[in-house]
Structure 1
Amino acid sequence: MQRTSFANFKCPAARALDSVGDWWSMMILRDAFHGLTRFDEFQKSLGVAPNILTRRLAHLIDEGLFEKRLYNERPARYEYVLTDKGRDFFPVLMALFSWGRRHVPQEDLAFLLGNAASGEERQPVLVDAASGEELKPENTCLLPGPAADEGDRERIARMRAYYLGIDA
């Protein structure tokens, strides 16, 4: 089944989803943040079919999240190293992990987030870098960006009016 591409959408969330690809890609990225770099390591950790893993790694390389590096010449063996763009995915993964932590039954949790130095459990929240305020639906809205056309601006204005309780 061919999936829809969001590559031409103006929305950063849609473009990001297109860049990451699917759940296998997110799981590969998760494992990369825990030090895995080699095909066989990813395959063993995830139990994913080799053809799927090959496609997902190629997509992540094409999208600039991984760099493929030769680590053995005979036979040719490669490792997959996170790029800066790939490392920038970490907060997204932590937000997803945190959301899952809140909504998975306690008895089903095999993993928690912890402080690497102290071992204390972490409770991540998304905050505004300038104010330190926690981002919530009640205090966050869309604003028009540089590529917004008149239709986008009208839609954003309607949504903002709704959040503010104003008749648009």
Structure 2
Amino acid sequence: MDARTAAAGQVCSVARTAALLADPWTVLVVRDLGRGVTRFDALAERLGVARTVLSRRLDGLVGDGVVERVDYREPGSRTRAEYRLTRRGRDLGVVLAALMDFGDRHLAGDAGPPVVRVHEHCGAPVRLVSVCAEGHRLGGDDRVRLVPGPGAPTGEQEPR
């Protein structure tokens, strides 16, 4: 059994999301689709990925409900496809933002991050924060406890 299949079969949201994203090419495809690069040729050129690899990744993302394939036709040309993130795919934006924040803090090097997310309205940098359902913003000293959720196997004990 390969790692993706093993991870997808676990009763764990982190493992299932890791299985969905599977490899770096998949993450980068989702990133670029989120940035508005929707056509196959543009994706292949921007990513520098083999067309066969890109085709397999897009097919997988379509099959997983992360991406939808939409046909278009420019005058005088054959019908082609472009790819768009579904609601499920757009929801991965926070996952990619978390990866970006980690990379900015730990992997950017002396030059700093290559891209900075800013709020379009005021120009201030955007950062991810954790907030509980009651609206309390969690800081570095706050503890979070994992408890069995509704999808936990029967008899599951609280994680340690």
> Which interval holds the TM-score relative to the shorter structure?
0.7 to 0.9
Alpha-carbon offset, residue 133 of structure 1: 2.0
Question: Does 1:134 find its partner at 2:138?
Answer: yes
For residue 30 of structure 1, give the secondary structure of its aligned residue in structure 2: helix
Q: 1:20 to 1:110 in 2, by over 3 A?
A: same
Q: Percent identity?
A: 34
**How far apart are the structure 2 equivalents of 1:127 and 1:119?**
23
**How far apart are the structure 2 equivalents of 1:78 and 1:135?**
45
- Which has the larger helix fraction? 1
* Greater shift in the superposed pair: 108-117 or 30-39: 108-117
Alpha-carbon offset, residue 42 of structure 1: 1.0
Q: 1:4 to 1:32 in 2, by over 3 A?
A: closer
Structure 2: any 5+ residue segments left out of the alignment? none
**How far apart are the structure 2 equivalents of 1:114 and 1:142?**
32
Q: Alignment RMSD, CA only? A: 2.4
TM-score by length of structure 2 reads: 0.84
Structure 1: any 5+ residue segments left out of the alignment? 160-168
* Greater shift in the superposed pair: 125-134 or 83-92: 125-134
Q: 1:19 to 1:137 in 2, by over 3 A?
A: farther
Q: Which residue of 1 aligns with 2:51?
A: 50
For residue 8 of structure 2, give the secondary structure of its aligned residue in structure 1: coil
* Greater shift in the superposed pair: 13-22 or 92-101: 13-22
Aligned length: 156
Q: 1:67 to 1:143 in 2, by over 3 A?
A: same
Q: 1:4 to 1:67 in 2, by over 3 A?
A: closer
**8 A contact 1:70–1:78 mirrored in 2:** yes
Q: 1:18 to 1:135 in 2, by over 3 A?
A: farther
**8 A contact 1:114–1:122 mirrored in 2:** yes
Q: Which residue of 2 aligns with 1:114?
A: 118
Q: Which residue of 1 aligns with 2:96?
A: 93
Q: 1:150 to 1:137 in 2, by over 3 A?
A: farther
**How far apart are the structure 1 equivalents of 2:26 and 2:127?**
24
User: Residue deviations 1:120-162, cap 9 Å, x none?
Assistant: 32233233343232276951122112343366316x2xx1xxx
For residue 99 of structure 2, give the secondary structure of its aligned residue in structure 1: helix
**8 A contact 2:129–2:137 mirrored in 1:** no
**8 A contact 1:95–1:126 mirrored in 2:** no
